[in-house]
């Protein structure tokens, strides 16, 4: 695995074109303006090299010389530490732990719904849509005092939320009027140049 990765002189990311978690990683790359080669791969067209690099048979994989990472959260934190400007994590340990805890909850409570939302079981999809709507509505008040999620500064939390919010119409999720502030927050995220740069062509067509 190391010998294969060592042949890379430029950072490489393997990513699905529509995966929200892969999109979150690409947002971090764009925010940091990192020189990276992005290879978009379909699940059924995995190159042999990727099979050698990633033992879990998932597409999302980052290669930085002899380092190979395939967990999105680890990739995002690595990029923030490897390229510290602009920072996407707080400096002090308590705030950093809180940031990690929120991201853990987003992955556990929201990203876990995506398989049902994108699956063929309509009952499961309907339940997932309701759960996603309810979770997003519940966090909407957090944006009444701060421009980003409980913070004055854009962070990895916002990088995780942006792909989900970009897809809510695609998923058929209708937010109530009480969550209007969340819609305004979404537009703020979507107007960031890094967000626009991060979109794959299929992702850019989700909201046409």
Q: What is the pLDDT of residues 34-91, one digit of tens each?
A: 999 999 988 678 888 888 888 898 899 999 999 999 999 999 999 999 999 999 999 9
The whole-number pLDDT of residue 166 equals 97
pLDDT of residue 105: 96
Q: Take residue 164 and report the two structure tokens written for it.
A: 């989900």
pTM: 0.92
What is the average pLDDT across 110-128?
Answer: 95
Question: In the numeric block, which tokens belong to residue 193?
Answer: 């140049």
Question: Do 125 and 116 contact (CB within 8 A), yes or no?
Answer: yes
- Polymer length in residues for the chain: 208
Question: How far is Cα 172 from Cα 50, in angstroms, rounded to an integer?
Answer: 33
Based on its alpha-carbon atoms, the radius of gyration of the chain, rounded to whole angstroms, reads 17
Q: Which CATH entry fits the domain spanning 93-192: 3.20.20.210, 3.30.9.10, 2.40.10.220, 1.20.1050.10?
A: 1.20.1050.10
Query: What pLDDT does residue 114 have?
Result: 95
Residues forming a β-bridge with 140: none
Given this model, what pLDDT does residue 9 score? 60
Q: What is the mean pLDDT of residues 165-170?
A: 96
Q: Which of 23, 80, 15 is nearest to 43 (CA)?
A: 15
Domains 2-82 and 93-192 alike in fold? no
Q: Return phi, psi of residue 148, to 5°.
A: -120, -175
Q: How far apart are CA 124 and CA 126, in angstroms?
A: 5
Query: In CATH terms, is domain 2-82 a member of 3.20.20.370?
Result: no
What per-residue confidence (pLDDT) applies to 8?
56
- Name which residue leads in pLDDT, 184 or 10: 184
Q: What percent of the chain has pLDDT over 90?
A: 83
Give the mean model confidence (pLDDT) for residues 125-144: 95
- For residue 15, how many other CB atoms are within 10 A of its CB? 21
Break the chain into its structural domains and give their ranges.
2-82, 93-192
Average pLDDT, the chain: 92
pLDDT of the residue at 18: 94
What are the backbone angles phi and psi of residue 64, rounded to the nearest 5°? -130, 90
Strands 11-15, 36-40: pairing kind: parallel
């Amino acid at each position: 695995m190391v010998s294969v990765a060592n042949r890379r002189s430029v950072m490489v990311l393997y990513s699905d074109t529509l995966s929200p978690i892969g999109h979150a990683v690409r947002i971090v790359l764009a925010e940091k303006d990192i020189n990276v080669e992005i290879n978009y791969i379909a699940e059924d067209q995995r190159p042999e090299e990727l099979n050698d690099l990633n033992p879990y048979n998932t597409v999302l994989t980052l290669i930085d010389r002899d380092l190979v990472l395939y967990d999105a959260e680890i990739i995002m934190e690595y990029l923030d530490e490897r390229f510290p400007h602009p920072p996407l994590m707080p400096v002090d340990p308590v705030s950093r732990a809180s940031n990690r805890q929120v991201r853990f909850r987003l992955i556990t409570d929201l990203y876990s719904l995506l398989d049902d939302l994108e699956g063929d079981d309509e009952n499961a999809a309907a339940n997932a849509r309701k759960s996603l709507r309810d979770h997003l509505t519940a966090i909407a008040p957090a944006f009444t005092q701060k421009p980003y999620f409980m913070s004055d500064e854009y962070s990895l939390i916002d990088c995780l939320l942006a792909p989900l919010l970009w897809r809510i119409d695609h998923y058929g999720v209708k937010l109530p009027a009480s969550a209007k502030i969340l819609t305004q927050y979404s537009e703020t995220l979507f107007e960031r140049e890094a967000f626009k740069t991060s979109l794959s062509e299929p992702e850019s067509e989700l909201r046409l």
